[in-house]
Structure 1
Amino acid sequence: MEEQLQNSGWRGSADVWLNAAYEALLETGVDGVKIQSLAKRLNLSRTSFYWFFKDRKELLDALITQWRAKNTGNLIKQTEAYAETVTEAMLNVTDCWLRPELFDAKFEFAIRGWSVRSPALRKEIQIADEQRLDALKQMFIRFGQDERLADTRARTIYLVQIGYISMQTSEETSTRLQRIPQYVEVFTGQAPDQRELDRFFARHQQ
């Protein structure tokens, strides 16, 4: 154990290798996530990789697990966060689109690009889409909207955001923030009150 700790500097760690894989995926796609190229990026020996992962597939699986936990997990949590009104609930979800630590749009884009060549990953994405849409739908149902309208509103919100990601829309944060009250009204059918907006904007001050 002592020897392992002493050598941990040159071996790296599972997180170090996973973070390097994440960066490579965003920069060059899944073809860039190769053990040798990651070792070069990290200035570590190729063999040190095998202290933490059995093979490249296990590393790729870890990336997918990270994406699932971060993007799907956090979005669902935001739909379930405390809110007194449907507009406040919508603002909680909107936090995801403005805070990469909650929902990583670049990661989402890279995963969806990777899925073009991976039927198994396409299935993972289909499952994630269904889970996210259902969470949004249930959010509206909790605030008294009927199931059909809740489903339509959920799809409107989600497809708009996936469109932002797929089109790699470039938009200043200040511009997007200015549009938030109108987005909330379009998505929920109600205008957020000023207190809700004040709390929301306080969370996103530059």
Structure 2
Amino acid sequence: MTATASHRIRATREVWLDAAYELFVADGIDAVKIMPLAKKLNLTRTGFYWHFKDVSELHNAIIDIWQTRNTGIILQRCEAPANNLCAALFNLIDCWIDNDLFDAPLDLAIRNWARNDSALEALVAETDDARLEAVVKMFERFGQTSKIAHYRALTVILTQTGYHSMRFNESRQQRAIAGCYYVEVFAGEVPRQQDKDAFLARHE
């Protein structure tokens, strides 16, 4: 395969977006510019405009990834089948242990960006409300009253957001073991051994 053919294969929208994602998570939104991306990919900037109208469209695509990858999975996990509250919480906490489910570095980078972008700040607030509402409904599904469900759900969200922002250095197994204790705290009841065993087995 010639170098030119190789470049044609590589120069897809996804290639540009993946490179933008890497720069964004590592260095913030100010690093996501056309020339640094072209240099990173060894491509010309002309190729960028085949896929994006401008850099703002690329920025919006990063936000779309965040919405789909992070908020979408939380909503799905809150609605996942479960026989009891602790099992439902284990389904949710999977998101914060399995990096393939929830992208913590992306979530943190978006929040950092939102501090200097009022429109994104509003979207993050709206998204956080949607996440919170989903967790509240999960608690309510298992008989928690509205007020208790709200504050238990808020505790879940704030704990996990803080966990990632503080960048705790734990192995996946350590975080899974800790998750068993968090579920007990969040639910106010001891998880069944079979639910704990199934959860831990998912993260071996």
Distance in 2 between residues matched to 1:201 and 1:182, nearest whole Å:
12
Equivalent residue number for residue 182 of structure 1: 181
Equivalent residue number for residue 150 of structure 2: 151
Structure 1 pair 55–11 and aligned structure 2 pair: CA distance change class (3 A):
farther
1:159-170 matches, within 5 Å, as: 159-170=158-169
SS of the residue aligned with 1:141?
Answer: helix
Which digits, 9 at most, give the CA deviation of each residue in 1:5-36, with x for residues without a partner?
x6862661111111100000011111110000
Letter in structure 2 aligned against 1:129? D
Equivalent residue number for residue 29 of structure 1: 28
Give the TM-score, by structure 1 length.
0.93
Equivalent residue number for residue 75 of structure 2: 76
CA contact (8 A) 1:20 1:42 kept: yes
Distance in 2 between residues matched to 1:107 and 1:144, nearest whole Å:
34
CA contact (8 A) 1:11 1:44 kept: no
Give the TM-score, by structure 2 length.
0.94
Distance in 1 between residues matched to 2:60 and 2:190, nearest whole Å:
42
CA contact (8 A) 2:172 2:203 kept: no
The offset of 1:45, in angstroms, is: 0.8
Equivalent residue number for residue 15 of structure 2: 16
Letter in structure 1 aligned against 2:123? E
CA contact (8 A) 1:11 1:48 kept: no
1:1-206 matches, within 5 Å, as: 9=8, 12-205=11-204
CA contact (8 A) 2:95 2:102 kept: yes
Give unpaired runs (5+ residues) of structure 1: 1-5
The offset of 1:172, in angstroms, is: 2.7
Distance in 1 between residues matched to 2:191 and 2:107, nearest whole Å:
28
Distance in 2 between residues matched to 1:204 and 1:9, nearest whole Å:
39
CA contact (8 A) 1:11 1:49 kept: no
User: Runs (4+) of structure 1 moved beyond 4 Å?
Assistant: none
Equivalent residue number for residue 3 of structure 1: none
The offset of 1:190, in angstroms, is: 1.4
SS of the residue aligned with 2:168?
Answer: coil
Distance in 1 between residues matched to 2:119 and 2:192, nearest whole Å:
44
Number of residues paired by the alignment? Answer: 200
CA contact (8 A) 2:71 2:131 kept: yes
The offset of 1:180, in angstroms, is: 1.9
